[in-house]
Amino acid sequence: TTFAVVAGAAGGDLAIEVVLILGISSVFADALSMGVGDALSTKAANQYALEERAREMWEMENNPEGEIQEMIEIFEEKGLSHEDATTAILAMSKNKEFFVDLMMAFELELEVPSEDDNPYFDGLVTFCSFVCFGFVPLLGYVVLYSIDLGDDKVTILFIIACCLTGLMLFVLGALKTMFTIQKWYAGGLEILFFGAMTAAVAYLIGLLVEEVTGFGEESNCRRM
Protein backbone atom coordinates (compact mmCIF):
# COMPACT_ATOMS: atom_id res chain seq x y z
CA THR A 1 0.00 0.00 0.00
CA THR A 2 2.77 2.42 0.94
CA PHE A 3 4.72 1.72 -2.21
CA ALA A 4 1.58 2.27 -4.27
CA VAL A 5 1.34 5.73 -2.67
CA VAL A 6 5.02 6.36 -3.43
CA ALA A 7 4.64 5.13 -6.99
CA GLY A 8 1.56 7.27 -7.57
CA ALA A 9 3.34 10.32 -6.18
CA ALA A 10 6.38 9.59 -8.34
CA GLY A 11 4.19 9.18 -11.41
CA GLY A 12 2.55 12.50 -10.59
CA ASP A 13 5.99 14.14 -10.38
CA LEU A 14 5.33 15.34 -6.84
CA ALA A 15 8.00 16.81 -4.59
CA ILE A 16 9.92 14.60 -2.17
CA GLU A 17 8.26 16.36 0.76
CA VAL A 18 4.86 15.40 -0.61
CA VAL A 19 5.96 11.78 -1.03
CA LEU A 20 7.09 11.69 2.60
CA ILE A 21 3.89 13.28 3.88
CA LEU A 22 1.64 10.97 1.88
CA GLY A 23 3.78 7.90 2.57
CA ILE A 24 4.21 8.30 6.32
CA SER A 25 0.58 9.26 6.90
CA SER A 26 -0.50 6.29 4.78
CA VAL A 27 1.70 3.88 6.75
CA PHE A 28 0.27 4.80 10.13
CA ALA A 29 -3.31 5.24 8.95
CA ASP A 30 -3.31 1.86 7.19
CA ALA A 31 -1.50 0.19 10.11
CA LEU A 32 -4.05 1.54 12.59
CA SER A 33 -6.92 0.48 10.35
CA MET A 34 -5.51 -3.01 9.91
CA GLY A 35 -4.67 -3.39 13.60
CA VAL A 36 -8.07 -2.26 14.83
CA GLY A 37 -9.81 -4.34 12.18
CA ASP A 38 -7.84 -7.43 13.17
CA ALA A 39 -8.56 -6.90 16.87
CA LEU A 40 -12.28 -6.31 16.41
CA SER A 41 -12.77 -9.18 13.96
CA THR A 42 -10.86 -11.59 16.21
CA LYS A 43 -12.85 -10.43 19.23
CA ALA A 44 -16.14 -10.93 17.40
CA ALA A 45 -15.09 -14.38 16.16
CA ASN A 46 -14.02 -15.41 19.67
CA GLN A 47 -17.27 -14.19 21.19
CA TYR A 48 -19.29 -16.08 18.60
CA ALA A 49 -17.31 -19.28 19.20
CA LEU A 50 -17.72 -19.02 22.98
CA GLU A 51 -21.46 -18.40 22.66
CA GLU A 52 -21.79 -21.43 20.40
CA ARG A 53 -19.76 -23.50 22.85
CA ALA A 54 -22.05 -22.45 25.71
CA ARG A 55 -25.04 -23.49 23.61
CA GLU A 56 -23.48 -26.86 22.80
CA MET A 57 -22.68 -27.39 26.49
CA TRP A 58 -26.31 -26.67 27.40
CA GLU A 59 -27.51 -29.14 24.78
CA MET A 60 -25.04 -31.75 26.03
CA GLU A 61 -26.28 -31.34 29.59
CA ASN A 62 -29.96 -31.38 28.66
CA ASN A 63 -30.01 -33.77 25.70
CA PRO A 64 -26.84 -35.88 25.77
CA GLU A 65 -28.39 -38.73 23.77
CA GLY A 66 -29.28 -36.41 20.89
CA GLU A 67 -25.81 -34.85 20.80
CA ILE A 68 -24.13 -38.23 20.91
CA GLN A 69 -26.31 -39.48 18.06
CA GLU A 70 -25.42 -36.40 15.97
CA MET A 71 -21.72 -37.07 16.45
CA ILE A 72 -22.14 -40.74 15.58
CA GLU A 73 -23.81 -39.75 12.31
CA ILE A 74 -21.03 -37.25 11.56
CA PHE A 75 -18.36 -39.89 12.10
CA GLU A 76 -20.29 -42.31 9.91
CA GLU A 77 -20.33 -39.69 7.14
CA LYS A 78 -16.55 -39.57 7.44
CA GLY A 79 -16.27 -43.27 6.69
CA LEU A 80 -16.49 -45.07 10.02
CA SER A 81 -18.82 -47.99 10.47
CA HIS A 82 -21.76 -47.57 12.82
CA GLU A 83 -20.14 -49.83 15.40
CA ASP A 84 -16.77 -48.04 15.32
CA ALA A 85 -18.38 -44.60 15.36
CA THR A 86 -20.60 -45.55 18.30
CA THR A 87 -17.68 -47.01 20.26
CA ALA A 88 -15.49 -43.95 19.66
CA ILE A 89 -18.19 -41.38 20.43
CA LEU A 90 -19.39 -43.15 23.59
CA ALA A 91 -15.81 -43.28 24.86
CA MET A 92 -15.16 -39.60 24.14
CA SER A 93 -18.51 -38.45 25.53
CA LYS A 94 -17.40 -39.54 29.01
CA ASN A 95 -15.29 -36.36 29.10
CA LYS A 96 -17.93 -33.64 28.70
CA GLU A 97 -15.53 -30.70 28.16
CA PHE A 98 -13.53 -32.59 25.55
CA PHE A 99 -16.68 -33.83 23.84
CA VAL A 100 -18.14 -30.32 23.55
CA ASP A 101 -14.89 -29.10 21.99
CA LEU A 102 -15.10 -32.06 19.63
CA MET A 103 -18.63 -31.05 18.63
CA MET A 104 -17.42 -27.52 18.02
CA ALA A 105 -14.78 -28.80 15.62
CA PHE A 106 -16.73 -31.49 13.75
CA GLU A 107 -20.30 -30.19 13.91
CA LEU A 108 -19.85 -26.41 13.76
CA GLU A 109 -16.31 -26.30 12.33
CA LEU A 110 -15.33 -23.67 14.90
CA GLU A 111 -12.14 -23.40 16.93
CA VAL A 112 -12.55 -22.62 20.61
CA PRO A 113 -10.24 -19.71 21.55
CA SER A 114 -7.76 -20.36 24.33
CA GLU A 115 -8.13 -18.58 27.68
CA ASP A 116 -5.04 -16.44 27.07
CA ASP A 117 -6.09 -15.40 23.57
CA ASN A 118 -6.04 -11.59 23.45
CA PRO A 119 -7.48 -10.05 20.27
CA TYR A 120 -6.00 -6.65 21.13
CA PHE A 121 -2.52 -8.16 21.28
CA ASP A 122 -3.14 -9.64 17.83
CA GLY A 123 -4.18 -6.19 16.64
CA LEU A 124 -1.01 -4.67 18.11
CA VAL A 125 1.14 -7.24 16.32
CA THR A 126 -0.65 -6.45 13.06
CA PHE A 127 -0.14 -2.72 13.62
CA CYS A 128 3.58 -3.07 14.36
CA SER A 129 4.13 -5.46 11.44
CA PHE A 130 2.39 -3.10 9.03
CA VAL A 131 4.45 -0.14 10.23
CA CYS A 132 7.75 -2.06 9.97
CA PHE A 133 7.16 -3.50 6.52
CA GLY A 134 5.19 -0.51 5.24
CA PHE A 135 8.02 1.85 6.08
CA VAL A 136 10.50 0.04 3.82
CA PRO A 137 9.60 1.96 0.62
CA LEU A 138 10.22 5.23 2.49
CA LEU A 139 13.64 4.35 3.90
CA GLY A 140 15.54 5.87 1.01
CA TYR A 141 13.52 9.08 1.16
CA VAL A 142 14.07 9.44 4.91
CA VAL A 143 17.77 8.52 5.04
CA LEU A 144 18.85 10.41 1.90
CA TYR A 145 16.45 13.35 2.17
CA SER A 146 19.10 15.89 3.23
CA ILE A 147 21.80 14.55 0.88
CA ASP A 148 22.39 16.33 -2.42
CA LEU A 149 21.99 13.78 -5.21
CA GLY A 150 21.78 16.27 -8.04
CA ASP A 151 18.94 17.04 -10.39
CA ASP A 152 17.95 13.36 -10.59
CA LYS A 153 17.37 13.05 -6.84
CA VAL A 154 13.67 12.26 -7.17
CA THR A 155 14.36 9.55 -9.74
CA ILE A 156 17.20 8.06 -7.70
CA LEU A 157 15.09 7.90 -4.55
CA PHE A 158 12.24 6.27 -6.44
CA ILE A 159 14.60 3.64 -7.89
CA ILE A 160 15.90 2.92 -4.38
CA ALA A 161 12.32 2.58 -3.15
CA CYS A 162 11.58 0.15 -6.00
CA CYS A 163 14.61 -1.99 -5.15
CA LEU A 164 13.92 -2.08 -1.40
CA THR A 165 10.25 -2.85 -1.92
CA GLY A 166 10.95 -5.54 -4.51
CA LEU A 167 13.42 -7.22 -2.16
CA MET A 168 10.98 -7.04 0.74
CA LEU A 169 8.11 -8.47 -1.33
CA PHE A 170 10.27 -11.34 -2.58
CA VAL A 171 11.42 -12.17 0.96
CA LEU A 172 7.84 -12.09 2.28
CA GLY A 173 6.69 -14.32 -0.55
CA ALA A 174 9.52 -16.75 0.11
CA LEU A 175 8.75 -16.83 3.85
CA LYS A 176 5.10 -17.52 3.07
CA THR A 177 6.09 -20.82 1.47
CA MET A 178 7.22 -22.11 4.88
CA PHE A 179 3.51 -22.78 5.52
CA THR A 180 2.66 -24.11 2.05
CA ILE A 181 3.99 -26.66 -0.44
CA GLN A 182 4.97 -23.92 -2.90
CA LYS A 183 8.62 -23.49 -3.87
CA TRP A 184 10.30 -20.56 -2.10
CA TYR A 185 11.35 -18.83 -5.28
CA ALA A 186 7.88 -19.29 -6.82
CA GLY A 187 6.26 -17.73 -3.75
CA GLY A 188 8.71 -14.84 -3.82
CA LEU A 189 8.19 -14.16 -7.52
CA GLU A 190 4.41 -14.41 -7.15
CA ILE A 191 4.21 -11.72 -4.45
CA LEU A 192 6.77 -9.62 -6.32
CA PHE A 193 4.74 -9.81 -9.54
CA PHE A 194 1.45 -8.74 -7.98
CA GLY A 195 3.16 -6.01 -5.97
CA ALA A 196 4.82 -4.70 -9.13
CA MET A 197 1.49 -4.73 -10.98
CA THR A 198 -0.15 -2.73 -8.20
CA ALA A 199 2.68 -0.20 -8.16
CA ALA A 200 2.61 0.09 -11.94
CA VAL A 201 -1.11 0.90 -11.90
CA ALA A 202 -0.56 3.53 -9.20
CA TYR A 203 2.35 5.05 -11.12
CA LEU A 204 0.40 5.24 -14.38
CA ILE A 205 -2.60 6.81 -12.66
CA GLY A 206 -0.33 9.38 -11.02
CA LEU A 207 1.29 10.09 -14.39
CA LEU A 208 -2.10 10.47 -16.05
CA VAL A 209 -3.40 12.83 -13.38
CA GLU A 210 -0.21 14.90 -13.60
CA GLU A 211 -0.52 15.12 -17.38
CA VAL A 212 -4.16 16.21 -17.17
CA THR A 213 -3.84 18.68 -14.30
CA GLY A 214 -0.17 19.68 -14.42
CA PHE A 215 -0.23 19.63 -10.63
CA GLY A 216 3.16 17.99 -10.24
CA GLU A 217 5.02 20.59 -12.28
CA GLU A 218 3.10 23.42 -10.60
CA SER A 219 3.91 22.03 -7.15
CA ASN A 220 7.60 21.68 -7.95
CA CYS A 221 7.73 25.24 -9.33
CA ARG A 222 6.21 26.64 -6.16
CA ARG A 223 8.66 24.64 -4.06
CA MET A 224 11.58 26.03 -6.05
- CA neighbor of 3 nearest in space, from 153, 127, 128, 160: 160
H helix intervals, 63-79: 64-77
Confidence of residue 150 (pLDDT cuts 50, 70, 90): confident
Torsion sign over Cα 97, 102, 108, 113: positive
The pLDDT of residue 98: 92
CB atoms within 10 A of CB 208: 12
With a cut of 80, say whether residue 120 has pLDDT above it. Answer: yes
- CA neighbor of 74 nearest in space, from 83, 64, 85: 85
**Contact (CB, 8 A) for 157 and 149:** yes
The reported pTM is: 0.73
| Nearby residues of 12 by Cβ (< 8 Å), 6 or more positions away | 206, 207, 209, 210, 215, 216
| Nearby residues of 197 by Cβ (< 8 Å), 6 or more positions away | none
Per-residue pLDDT of 164-210, as tens digits, reads: 989 988 998 898 888 888 898 899 999 999 988 988 888 888 788 77
Per-residue pLDDT of 13-29, as tens digits, reads: 788 888 888 889 989 99
The pLDDT of residue 61: 92
Per-residue pLDDT of 45-60, as tens digits, reads: 999 999 999 999 999 9
The pLDDT of residue 215: 57
